[in-house]
A and B are shown apart, each in its own frame.
Chain A
Amino acid sequence: MTWHWWHVLLSWGVVLTAFAVLAAVVRGRLRAAARRLAVLEKR
């Protein structure tokens, strides 16, 4: 594998990882907000 290929894989890897991490963060926020809302509304 040439070093050009490493640049290709690094580019794709960085982009896909960034999207996956942001998606996980947003999902976590949604779940936490829903859980806390349910607790507050029950009171």
Chain B
Amino acid sequence: MSSTTAPRGMARLHLLANPGRFLRVSGLLLPWLTGAGLLCLALGMVWGLWLSPPDWQQGETVRIMYVHVPMAWLAMGGYLALVVLSVISLVWRHPLADVAARELSPIGAMVTALCLATGSLWGRPMWGTWWVWDARLTSVLVLFFLWVGHAALTRAFDDPDRGARMGAILALIGAVNLPIVKFSVDWWNTLHQPASVTRLDAPGIHVDILYPLLVNALAFSLCFVALALAATRAGLQERRLRALQMAAARRAEREGG
């Protein structure tokens, strides 16, 4: 990389991360993302609950996989996004990354909780138990606590910048849990089955189940991104509101004193 491309690349990054520009671009994107997400969700629901056949082994309970697997992917993918935002926040001290990370954690906690709940609802008829302390389930529970911890920590300080910094450090420490979640089924003998879609060779499931699963994964991913963008917009507006209120209070104090 030449010496001139790095500052130019940084300038572009800062340009994209400008809060005003983010509000404009996200305002244009949001209706399309939401519309596409809801459309895919309607298709995924009909395909997953009605058109797709029952599995020869799992029977009708395979239909739980159409919501459980997307929630698991979003819980991990979302955490990866949180790690990236935390790096940006710590290295460049960018306020947009702080707000986005702060707004992402409740949504991440929600999808991780949904992953655990739907997994439990699948486990009862298939394994005969709601819960086992195997490596996959336990590491996903730890992931849930990391999400909740991040959400709580970023809101625990009066100074939002300090909260963002503490949250970013927690998110980076928690990143060590991601490979543990992913490879737990290979490293330990778990009741949870190994990966059947995200494998280096061909997926281990039939297309009758794979296609509705992918449609539902796309649908929930679009809805997740739309929610995260909308929440970040709300966070930015609330931040601006606080700044205006502080300025008004200072002005009133000067005029009064």
Q: Footprint of B on A, CB under 8 Å?
A: 2-5, 7-8, 10-12, 14-15, 18-19, 22-23, 26-27, 29-30, 33-34, 36-37, 40-41, 43
Contacts and interface: CB of A to CB of B under 8 A. Distances in A.
Contacts of A27: 230
B128 to A, nearest CB: 13
| Interface of A, helix, strand, loop or mixed by DSSP | helix
Contacts, number: 81
Contact of B71 (A5, A7, A15, A43): A15
Contact of B237 (A12, A23, A37, A43): A37
Central interface residue in B49, B233, B234, by most chain A CB within 10 Å: B234
A30 B234 CA distance: 5
Interface string B105-131: 011001001100110011011000000
A23 B33 CA distance: 13
Nearest to B239: A33
20 contacts: A4-B59, A4-B125, A7-B124, A8-B64, A11-B121, A12-B45, A14-B117, A15-B71, A15-B118, A18-B114, A23-B230, A26-B227, A29-B231, A29-B234, A33-B238, A37-B237, A37-B240, A37-B244, A40-B244, A40-B245
Contacts of B60: 2, 4-5, 8
B215 interface: no
A4 B61 contact: yes
Contacts of B113: 18
Interface in B8-27: none
Q: Which 4 pairs between the two chains have the least Cβ-Cβ distance?
A: A33-B237, A29-B234, A11-B118, A11-B64
Contacts of B118: 11, 14-15
B67 interface: yes
B102 interface: no
Nearest to B125: A4
Interface string B52-68: 00000001110110011
Contacts of B110: 18, 22
A34 B230 CA distance: 13
Contacts of B121: 7, 10-11, 14
Contacts of B234: 26, 29-30, 33
A12 B64 CA distance: 7
B39 interface: no
B64 to A, nearest CB: 5
B192 to A, nearest CB: 17
Contacts of A26: 227, 230-231, 234
Given A14-B114, A37-B240, 15 more contacts: A5-B60, A7-B125, A8-B49, A11-B117, A12-B49, A12-B67, A15-B220, A18-B114, A22-B107, A22-B227, A23-B227, A30-B230, A30-B234, A33-B234, A37-B237
